Amino acid sequence: MPTVILTGLPVPGSALAGELRSLGFEVHPAATPSEAAAALALVPADQRVAVVDGEFVGHVHALRLALTDPRFDACSVTGALAVLPAARAALDRAAENDVYAPVGDGPYPDRLAAAVEAAGTPVHRPELGTLVAAVPATTDERRAATAAVAAVDDEAVRLRTAVKSRDGFFTTFFISPYSRYIARWCARRGLTPNQVTTASLITALIAAGCAATGDRWGYVASGVLLLVSFVLDCTDGQLARYSLQYSTMGAWLDATFDRAKEYSFYAGLALGAARNGDDVWALALGAMILMTCRHVVDFAFNEANHDATANTSPTAALSDKLDSVGWTVWVRRMIILPIGERWAMIAVLIAFTTPRIVFYALLVGCAFGALYTTAGRVLRSLTRKAERTDRAARALADLTDTGPLGELIARGLRRLPHYTAPAFMVSGVGSAAMLLFAAQEWSFGSSVPIFFAGLYVLTAGAAVAQPLKAPLDWLLPPVFRAAEYTTVLILAAKADVPGALPAAFGLVAAVAYHHYDTVYRIRGGTGAPPHWLVRTIGGHEGRVLLITVLASVLASRAVDFPVALTALAVFVALVVLVESIRFWVSSGAPAVHDEGEPA
C-alpha cells in the first residue's frame, strides 16, 4: 500500500487524513521535518510515497492528480508531493538536507519538490484550473480557501476533464456527453481501462462476424455493434483519465486495438460481400492502405517537427487564424474523416447499402482527407523557417523501416565526397512511382518489375544515407509505405487467382502492425524497435524485392502465389507480435501520456 507522510501539527476538524485514506494511502503523521525524514526511511523503497502538509486545503481531485498519477516519477501541487521508486533517492536526500538546512519558508512538501527538481528529477505539476490546492498561513486565508473549495464541484470537474479537450465532432457531441458517465460507472465497480478496451475489441470482432454473414440482418447488427464498440473505445480513455489508471499494457492495447478493430471489420465486409458473389477484397485492401499511409503522414510530420526550432510558417498562422472562428474548427476536423466520423459513416452505410458502397465511400472520403492534410503539411514545411534536430532526423530514419539492403547502400554512399541527399530523396520517390507503374502495366510474372524493384532498393537506401533534415524528408516514410503496400495489392490483383487478395490483405495488415508499433514506441520516448527485428523481416525495400521476385518465379504456378504471401504474412506477424508483446509488457514500455482538458 502506498504511504503518505502527513506533516505538521493536526488541524482540528480537518478531513484531510480521511481523504488521503480514500485515495488508497496509509497515513503516518510527522510533526517536524526530522520526524518526516525518519518516517520516510521506514517506507520500503519500492513503494509510492507522498508528503502532504497537514494544513492543506483543497479538492480531493487535486490530491488525486498530484498523488496517484502513475505516469510521472514525481508529481506535486501546493502542499503535496508524491514520488515513485525511480525518484525515491532524490526525495530521501531532500528530506535529510531539509532537516539541517531548510530552503525557503514555504510548505514542507513544496520545499522537497523544489529540491527533488534541483537534483535533476522532473516534477510534474498538473494544471488545476478551478480546483483548489493551498496551504493557508492565516485563519482568514484558511476560511477563504475553504469557501473556494465549496464553490467548485470537483466531481463535475473530474468528469469534464475525463474527456479529451480536442476531439472530433461526432465524438464530442454524440458520444462523450454520455460515455463519461459510463466511465464513472465502470470506475465505481472496479473495472479497468484495459478491460473496457478488450470489451471494445470483442464487440468489434462480433460486428465483423455479423458483417461476414452477408445477410441484411448481419449488416444492420454489425453497424449497431460497431457504434457500441466505438462508445467503449471512447470510454476506456475517459476511464483512464477519470481514475488515473494509466499502464504500459494499456498503452499497447490502446495503440493497436483501434487498427485491429477497423481492419477486422474491413475483412468481415469483404467476406460478407463474397457470400453474395461480389469480390471487394481489393477495395478492402485499398482502404486499409489509404488509412495507414494517411496516418504515417501525420506521424512522420509530427515527429519531424516535434522539437524544431524557429517553428514559424504563414500556413500555420493562417490555420491558427481559422481556429479562432469556432465553426471552422469543427468543419476542418470533420472533413479529414477521423475515426468517430468514419465509424459512424460505415455503420450507417452498411445498415442500408452494400460493402462495395461502404468501401467506395471510405476510399473517396479518406482520399480527400489525406490530400487535404498532406497538402497543408507540405505547405507548412516549404514555408517554415526551422532547423530539424538530430532527434527528429533519427525518428524519421526509424520510420522509414530501412532493412539490410538499404543500409548497405547507404553506408557505401556516405563515403562519396559529393553526395547530396535531397536529389536522392526525389529519386527515391520517383523510383517508387516507377515500381508501381511497372507492376501495373506488365503482366503477372514479368521480370520487368524486378528491375524496378532493384532500382527502388538502390534509391531507397540512398535516400536515407544522410540525416533526414530537409524540409520534405518527412514524406519518405509515407511514400515507402505506399510503395510497399500498393505493390502487394497490384501483384495480388494481377495474379487473378483465388486467395491472392485475402493473403495480400493479411500480409499488409501484419506489416502495418509493425509500422504502427514503431510509431507508438517512438512517441512514447523509448525509440524504435530493435534493429534485429527490422533486419529479420527484411525492411520495406527487402520485402518489395522479395514479393516481386516471388511473383515472377511463381508465374507458371500462380496458385502458389497466395501460399507464398500467406507464409510471409505469418512469418512477419509472428516475429513482430512476439517482440511487440515482449516490449509492451516490460518495465521499459511507456505509459500513455494522454491528458484531458485542463481543469
**Alpha helix segments (H runs only) across 128-192:** 139-150, 154-161, 169-170, 176-188
In this prediction, what percent of the chain has a pLDDT beyond 70?
Answer: 92
Nearest to 208 by CA among 340, 342, 346: 346
Over residues 247-252, the mean pLDDT reads 78
Give yes or no for residue 47 having a pLDDT over 60: yes
Query: Per-residue confidence at 312, pLDDT binned at 50, 70, 90?
Result: low
Over residues 511-530, the mean pLDDT reads 91
Using one digit for the tens of pLDDT, what is the confidence trace for 177-214? 999 999 999 999 999 999 999 999 999 999 999 999 99
Using one digit for the tens of pLDDT, what is the confidence trace for 446-480? 999 999 999 999 999 988 988 888 888 899 999 99
Cell of 549: 521476385
The rounded distance, in Å, linking the Cα atoms of 362 and 274 is 19
Give yes or no for residue 165 having a pLDDT over 90: no
**Which residue carries 478496451 as its cell?**
197
At 523 the pLDDT is: 84
Over residues 166-185, the mean pLDDT reads 93
Nearest to 26 by CA among 70, 67, 86: 67
At 259 the pLDDT is: 86
The rounded distance, in Å, linking the Cα atoms of 526 and 593 is 13
**Ranges 197-206, 350-359, 408-417: which has the least confidence:** 408-417
Q: Rounded to a whole number, what is the distance in angstroms from the first to the last CA of the chain?
A: 28
Using one digit for the tens of pLDDT, what is the confidence trace for 123-140? 999 999 999 999 999 999
At 595 the pLDDT is: 43
Using one digit for the tens of pLDDT, what is the confidence trace for 489-520? 999 999 999 999 999 999 999 999 999 999 98
Using one digit for the tens of pLDDT, what is the confidence trace for 101-127? 777 778 999 999 999 999 999 999 999
Give yes or no for residue 426 having a pLDDT over 80: no
At 323 the pLDDT is: 56
Pairing of strands 133-134, 57-58: antiparallel
At 131 the pLDDT is: 97
Give yes or no for residue 588 having a pLDDT over 80: no
Over residues 554-565, the mean pLDDT reads 91
Q: Which residues on adjacent β-strands are paired with residue 5? A: 28, 51
**Ranges 195-209, 211-225, 262-276, 578-592: which has the least confidence:** 578-592
At 321 the pLDDT is: 57
At 593 the pLDDT is: 47
Q: Which residues on adjacent β-strands are paired with residue 6? A: 29, 52
176 CB-contact burial (10 Å; exposed 0-12 / middle 13-18 / buried 19+): buried
**Which residue carries 522532473 as its cell?**
122
Cα dihedral: 158, 160, 162, 164 (round 10): -150
Query: Per-residue confidence at 31, pLDDT binned at 50, 70, 90?
Result: very high
Residue 176 C-alpha from the chain's centroid = 20
The rounded distance, in Å, linking the Cα atoms of 272 and 354 is 9
Q: Which residue has the higher pLDDT, 165 or 597?
A: 165
At 596 the pLDDT is: 37
The rounded distance, in Å, linking the Cα atoms of 153 and 508 is 49
Average model confidence (pLDDT) across the chain? 90
- DSSP H or E segment with residue 134: strand 133-134
At 248 the pLDDT is: 76
At 599 the pLDDT is: 39
